[in-house]
A and B are shown apart, each in its own frame.
Chain A
Amino acid sequence: MIAVDIEKKLKAYNGQQVLQVKKAFIPGSITRITGPSGAGKTTFLKMLAGLITPDSGIIKTKTLSWFDAVQKINLPPQQRHIGFVFQDYALFPNMTVKQHLEYATTDAPWTNRLVTIGGLDTFADHKPNHLSGGQQQRLAILRALAIKPKLMLMDEPFSALDIKMKSALIKDLQMLFAELGATALIVSHNPQELDGISTDELEIG
């Protein structure tokens, strides 16, 4: 379980607003995160990943405290072992599809399997600028999965995929999450996108 109770002041165009989230995420659950633009959905995910520091509060798993403002605990992202899919994909322009996954893990059978799931077999030696938008987005998801995370944070991960590809990938992801015992938090603007697979919902803002 991941328990979160954090606060962070956000700069908005009309002054400041406070992002407040208090929620517990059950292991293996898939939570859909919704909310208006600029409400702090990305900031929330980055705080969970340790990429942004909350102003106050706690983030803890069953066994470990990731963040505790009072006790001054703040585990770096490297030690949180989180799969993060960035909204802008954040792919490395210098690496091919295969190198992306090899950078993340040395588990070759696992990377091969991921490449196949993502339908990127024939593109294994391509760099991101030779991939389509949908392929880039899939690569971003595969790279996050490569480290076999227990927590997946996905920031609008299906926005560039067509409906057919999306539903196939979502099915595969559901299976992989179950296999890894991963909890997933997915920011999604499309209300139908996660119908039938999300088990929980969090509204921000």
Chain B
Amino acid sequence: MDLSPIWLTLKLAAITTLILLVIGVPLAWWLSKKRSLVKVIIEAVITMPLVLPPSVLGFYLLLAFSPQHGFGHWLQQTFDVQFVFSFKGLVLASVIYSMPFMISPVKSAFQLLPVSLAQASYTLGKSQWQTFKYVLLPNIKPSLLTATVLTFAHTLGEFGVVLMIGGNIPGVTRVASIAVYDSVEQMDYAAANNYSLILFAITFAMVTTVFIYNKYQVKSPLE
């Protein structure tokens, strides 16, 4: 069996999760503070992939980044970057597609922390960044773990978006979910089953681990 779709999927999920940790956590923090119309709109845009058919998102990404069209053309001419039918494109699409899974739980966790925690830190002379790093972030650990695992697992399960923007290039964009589809198309049920079982096992193990970890975590007095 060709295992490259599995490795590709894991690589995609890991990179996507890492990127979302770096940009998603500060963004969630910012969104958790005072509400404004701009934030509501940004949040709505971030949440859209949850309700949109993945093919719709994939279609627009395909249009936007296709070298035949304005923006994609400009990217290729100026930076020699092509997102369509490339691994980079998969990463970009996955980041957008999985963003609500990182942002939403982390944002809720920040909102559940009492305001006085940050205020106490400020009165001790600590900056916003120090407060974020030493006080707020450590106290949302369970939610952060949940968000990380959900993001990773959700990226493993992507199909529509990656198919639209990435296609089915072996070793480049052919992730496990597409390999399953492709095997079934070719009536190779044994291969489809192998890919499916591996995906099933990985996601099941991850989700179970999170449930166990969060259940046995000593409850913080904030919850």
Residues of A within 8 A of B (CB): 46, 49-51, 76-78, 80-84, 86, 88, 90-94, 103-104, 128-129, 143-144, 146-147
Q: Provided the pairs A86-B119, A93-B221 are in contact, do residues A81 and B125 lie with their beta carbons within 8 angstroms? A: yes
A147 engages B125 (CB within 8 Å): yes
A78 engages B125 (CB within 8 Å): yes
**A156 to B148 Cα, complex, angstroms:** 40
Chain A residues in 8 Å Cβ range of B135: 92, 94
Q: Pick the contact of B124 from A76, A129, A147 — CB < 8 Å?
A: A147
Q: Pick the contact of B122 from A51, A88, A94 — CB < 8 Å?
A: A51
B123 engages A84 (CB within 8 Å): yes
Chain B residues in 8 Å Cβ range of A76: 122
Chain B residues in 8 Å Cβ range of A82: 123
**A159 to B134 Cα, complex, angstroms:** 28
**Number of B positions contacting A (CB below 8 A):** 22
For residue B135, which residue of chain A has the nearest CB?
Answer: A92
Main secondary structure of the interface of A (DSSP, over half): mixed
Q: Pick the contact of B221 from A50, A80, A128, A143 — CB < 8 Å?
A: A128
For residue A104, which residue of chain B has the nearest CB?
Answer: B124
**A82 to B199 Cα, complex, angstroms:** 55
A129 engages B220 (CB within 8 Å): yes
Q: Provided the pairs A78-B127, A103-B124, A147-B124 are in contact, do residues A92 and B117 lie with their beta carbons within 8 angstroms? A: yes
Q: Pick the contact of B114 from A81, A88, A143 — CB < 8 Å?
A: A88
Among B116, B134, B138, B139, the one with the most A-chain Cβ atoms within 10 Å of its Cβ is B116
Q: How far is the CB of B64 from chain A (nearest CB, A)?
A: 42
Q: How far is the CB of A111 from chain B (nearest CB, A)?
A: 13
Q: How far is the CB of B137 from chain A (nearest CB, A)?
A: 9
For residue A82, which residue of chain B has the nearest CB?
Answer: B123
Chain B residues in 8 Å Cβ range of A86: 116, 119-120
